Amino acid sequence: MPIFNFRDEDALGKVASVDTTNVIVDVENIDQLKRLQVNHLAVLQSSRPGQHLIGLITQVTRKRGIEDIDDDGIGEKTSELNLCKIALIGTMLDRDGDRENVFRRTLESVPEIDANCFSLDGENLTSFMRTLSSVSADGNALTLGKYTLDEHAVAYLNGNKFFQRHAFIGGSTGSGKSWTTAKIIEQMAGLSTANGIVFDLHGEYSPLVGSGIQHFKVAGPADVEAKRTIDDGVLYLPYWLLSYEALVSMFVDRSDQNAPNQAMIMAREINLAKQKYLEDGDKTDVLKHFTVDSPVPFCLDFLMGRLNDINVEMVPGARGEKQGDFNGKLSRMISRLENKISDRRLGFMFHGGVDVLDFSWLEKFITAVLGSSGENGKAGIKIINFSEVPSDVLPLIVSLVARVTFSVQQWTPSELRHPIALLCDEAHLYMPQRNMAESVDDISLDIFERIAKEGRKYGVSLVVISQRPSEVNKTMLSQCSNFVSMRLTNAEDQGVIKRLLPDSLGGFSDILPTLDTGEALVVGDASLLPSRIRIDEPKNKPNSGTVNFWDEWQKPVKDKRLSIAVDNWRKQNIQ
């Protein structure tokens, strides 16, 4: 049974002009015109039987003109030009092979002049939305919520396409991004071998619990002191896991005139330290192939000892001893290193104890962080809390986890690979625009840009989440094929999303500032139609910290709150 049931007399009007993607309809009936709304759907008769074209109303105009003025100026005749502009977005086929009522995002034909146009509402709208929904609802479909146009129709997304070519979730603060992310996580967690890592920068996602979800936290000073380990859900990200470039960006001050020498010595000495580690452990097979970037532990004391020696080295000269080539040139680098090593906030990098220097540590770490649901009896969605990582090294550390993920996927033979998604909340903090970037950000950008460009081939998907689309790296955004855009109030941010929409839908983005909290404009290859969706509440809600100031100011204040804060601040630990 074809779903559309239109009578010619209900037509809105007839097609007056057609170009490749837009149609202008001459609306004959003024009452109909008044009821039309921008961003609602319309159906056009196609030149082919068994097909209807679906379009989005982008403009409605009523023009009045005085056509004819009689000599005496009294009997004037007014004319009206009532137009409605429609952007064509797809074709509804009554039948496609053995399937009935199939919607396609392609334009299989264009309407002819004088073809009838109908507004899609009431019963017709409900059946259309239902068709869309069930078309995509095969198996465990991904759904975020219901269509705003028809609150009874569940809006399904194609989960394969959503993750295949990266997705972006954007919206002003408090517009509902974290809740939307929680809704996605919740559904991922329901899949039997789901695999994903959530970069949780503020510990917002801690209320998300259930089978399929586990929590990790990058070690804070108190965790280091209590010697908590990965079995307690505490992660260490040791210095030796950082790439050579990342180590240099952390320890070498680029403005120092000795920077090139320092970087060179650093490469040489790290190589040496790794070599020593491998020799001491009799890892002869690795010894033959390792490079400065290989994930091989090395002893920091050994490195520091060597650097100190080189810095004070004396060599035989023509007349007695003279200073070595690098004598005194490493002082600043050494003191930077010493500062970092003694910084308690960086304990997760330098004070992981002897465990993290063990050759088997890496596999244990990777099994915990990259394992899928069900693998080794673990949960596949790993929420990693980065809230205690100092902001100056945050890009380095977040991207380290991304790099480890990408490397592991790359080094897995393709027939053994299992896909993984990285959900990157507050992405503007670690994938900024190049021109706003500092040197540590460069390292992070290189990694994320690489994943954005090549991740698909290795089964690594990015879900980039940010309140400032205009501050997020452009390459990242241009690689995303799916956009979940929530309310955006800033014009610059709206502009970014607008530019990403196809030209014919450009006007659709005008609703961005008026979207309700928890409402989103979803555009991309995962959704059959660009749609306005009311996102369902997730079962477990993130701690988004929405404070009711006015109410709070009428309640009693908690005892000793300020002295507790001062004490915690000093101890760098929330008691």
Which residues, 6 or more positions from 475, have their beta carbon under 8 angstroms from its beta carbon? 449, 452, 453
Contacted entry of ligand ATP, Mg ion, none for residue 171, CB cut-off 5 to 8 Å set by kind: ligand ATP
Side by side, the strands of the sheet bearing 460-466 are: 154-157, 142-147, 531-535, 519-524, 482-485, 167-170, 460-466, 420-424, 196-200, 381-385, 213-218, 234-235
Q: Does 178 bind ligand ATP (CB under 6 A)?
A: yes
Q: Residue 435: which of ligand ATP, Mg ion, none does it interact with, CB under 5 to 8 A by kind?
A: none
Q: How far apart are CA 45 and CA 12, in angstroms?
A: 12
Alpha-carbon span 447 to 241, nearest angstrom: 14
Residue 546 CB, nearest approach to Mg ion (Å):
10
For residue 61, the SS3 value is strand
**Residue number with CB closer to ligand ATP (525 or 536):** 536
Question: Which listed residue (51, 58, 178, 494) binds Mg ion by CB under 5 A?
Answer: 178
Using the contact rule CB under 6 A, the part of the chain among 172-180, 292-300, 504-512, 549-557 near ligand ATP is 172-180
Burial of 453 (0-12, 13-18, 19+ CB in 10 A): middle
Our finding on whether 548 is near ligand ATP (CB under 6 A) is no
> Residue 365's binding partner, choosing from ligand ATP, Mg ion, none, with beta-carbon cut-off 5 to 8 A by kind?
none
DSSP 3-state of 95: strand
86 pairs with which residues across the strands? Answer: 23, 57
206 binds ligand ATP (CB under 6 A): no
DSSP annotation string for 19-39: -SSEEEEEE--HHHHHH--TT
Tell me which stretch binds Mg ion (CB under 5 A): 113-121, 142-150, 178-186, 383-391. 178-186
In the DSSP assignment, the letter for residue 432 is B
Pick the closer one to Mg ion by CB: 36 or 429: 429
Per partner kind, with CB cut-offs from 5 to 8 A, the member of Mg ion, ligand ATP, none near residue 159 is none
Distance of alpha carbon 42 from the chain centroid: 32
- Cβ of residue 425: shortest distance to Mg ion, in angstroms? 6
- Among 541, 543, 539, smallest CA distance to 190 is for 539
Per rule CB under 6 A, count of chain residues that contact ligand ATP? 16
Among 111, 176, 371, 419, binds ligand ATP (CB under 6 A): 176
518 binds ligand ATP (CB under 6 A): yes
Q: Which is nearer to ligand ATP, 204 or 388 (CB)?
A: 204
- Measured from the CB atom, the residue of 46 and 467 that comes closer to ligand ATP is 467
- The least CB distance from residue 203 to ligand ATP, in Å, is 12
At residue 81, what is the residue type? Answer: L
Q: How far is CA 283 from CA 244, 292, 294, 299, 399, in A?
A: 21, 16, 13, 16, 28
Among 517, 525, 540, 573, the residue binding ligand ATP under the rule CB under 6 A is 517
- What is the contact surface with Mg ion in residues (CB under 5 A)? 177-178
- What is the contact surface with ligand ATP in residues (CB under 6 A)? 171, 173-179, 467, 517-518, 535, 537, 542, 544, 546
